[in-house]
Amino acid sequence: MGYSIYEQIERYLEGAMLSEEKISFEALLHTDHRLAEKVQEHKQLLHAMKHYGQRQSLKQKLNAIHTAMEAETAEQAPAQLTPSPSTWNVFWKRHRQTMAVAASVSLLSVFGTLWSVQQLKAPVQQQTARYVELRREVEKIKKEQKAIISGILTTEEAKPAPRTARFSGTGFAISSDGYLITSSHVVAGADSLIIENKAGDKYKVSTVYRDQTHDLAILKIEDPAFEGFGKLPYTFKTSESELGEKVFTLGYPREDIVFGEGSLSSSSGFEGDTTSYQVSIPLNPGNSGGPLLDDRGNLIGIISGKQAGQEGAAFAVKSAYLLQTLSELPETSNLNPISLPKYNNLSGHSRTQQLKKLKDYVFVVKVYN
């Protein structure tokens, strides 16, 4: 049974985890500093709530004591408006320990609650700053400007500057007939798209579907020269991957293809997002939309973002959400069902052999506008 990140934290703090699960969770705390912060914040919040409950309970007890005291005073001296000094002395001796505890709990509760509220507000305020999409910054194109005489450009000056890609990301094939996947933010605002692989194959593509919620975009090759990808060597994993699994990716953070390897460090993404994984692979702009695969060559995710200021904390949308999107396409668009690969030809091969088979199906996505 899967638990959300907050359920796991509460089970850990309450001591409800089995020994193996607790050992695995504590090992994750040493590598995932953000998770460790979440555990500490949650612990402080529960601590404040506990003290608040104690304060309410003590308040009820004091109210009961006060009522009993008034009744006792009324029986002893009904004509008196206030209790005698001896009555207050008896009351103080009888209940001074309870009152001292109540005062302490009240002070702790007030300061604990204020501290917890501030700690809970801080992640929300910093959320945008801590998570960034893995996209290239828009390249500043420097164009030479020449003097305009009488508002008329010469023929040479009027020539348009060569088109330069605004930025690029990564995409990979998901069917033999020309469908690819990348990140939605990669193709946002694009007028035209070109893909190119390690072998130099270039094709014009168009965006046929975008899912901004899960940061996914489906592309289709529209080039008449395209004759098909042939048999794709990987398959899509439908079940959850386990913590600590070795994973790797191929992408285009620069003009040449780059290999990255690491492990699956969390079953949830940024701020406990259950649609993503966190992986310990250092990534750079341009890796967005790249494939994330396990040791056996199963595709388990699509690279989407990283945590700002924390090297090696990157995120990938789980393949299950890609499969869900593809299954719903015929209902939400005019696309026919996309035929996904059914056989894995990467399993059992060395990493170098896997990369040789994989690189022809991973492309740099160049965005123009």
Q: Tell me what pLDDT residue 354 has.
A: 95
For tokens 């690029």, what's the residue? 168
Q: Tell me what pLDDT residue 292 has.
A: 95
Is 133:185 a contact under the CB 8 Å cutoff?
A: yes
For tokens 């023929």, what's the residue? 155
* CB atoms closer than 10 angstroms to residue 33: 12
Distance CA 158, CA 151 (A): 12
Question: Per residue in 137-158, is it b (16+ CB within 10 Å) or e — as a string?
Answer: eeeeeeeeeeeeeeeeeeeeee
Distance of alpha carbon 172 from the chain centroid: 21
Q: Tell me what pLDDT residue 142 has.
A: 32
What parts of the chain have a pLDDT lower than 70?
Answer: 1-4, 31, 33, 51-55, 58-59, 61-62, 65-66, 68-167, 307-312, 330-334
Confirm whether pTM is higher than 0.75.
Answer: no
Which residue, among 17, 23, 19, 14, has the nearest Cα to 3 in the 3D structure?
Answer: 17
* CB atoms closer than 10 angstroms to residue 117: 12
Distance CA 292, CA 252 (A): 13
Taking the domain 167-368, which CATH number applies? 2.40.10.120
Torsion of CA 72, 73, 78, 79, to 10 degrees: 180
Residue 162 has which token pair?
A: 């060569």
Distance CA 100, CA 97 (A): 5
Under 8 Å CB-to-CB from 141, ≥6 apart: which residues?
161, 164
Domain ranges of the chain: 32-132, 167-368
For tokens 């965005």, what's the residue? 367
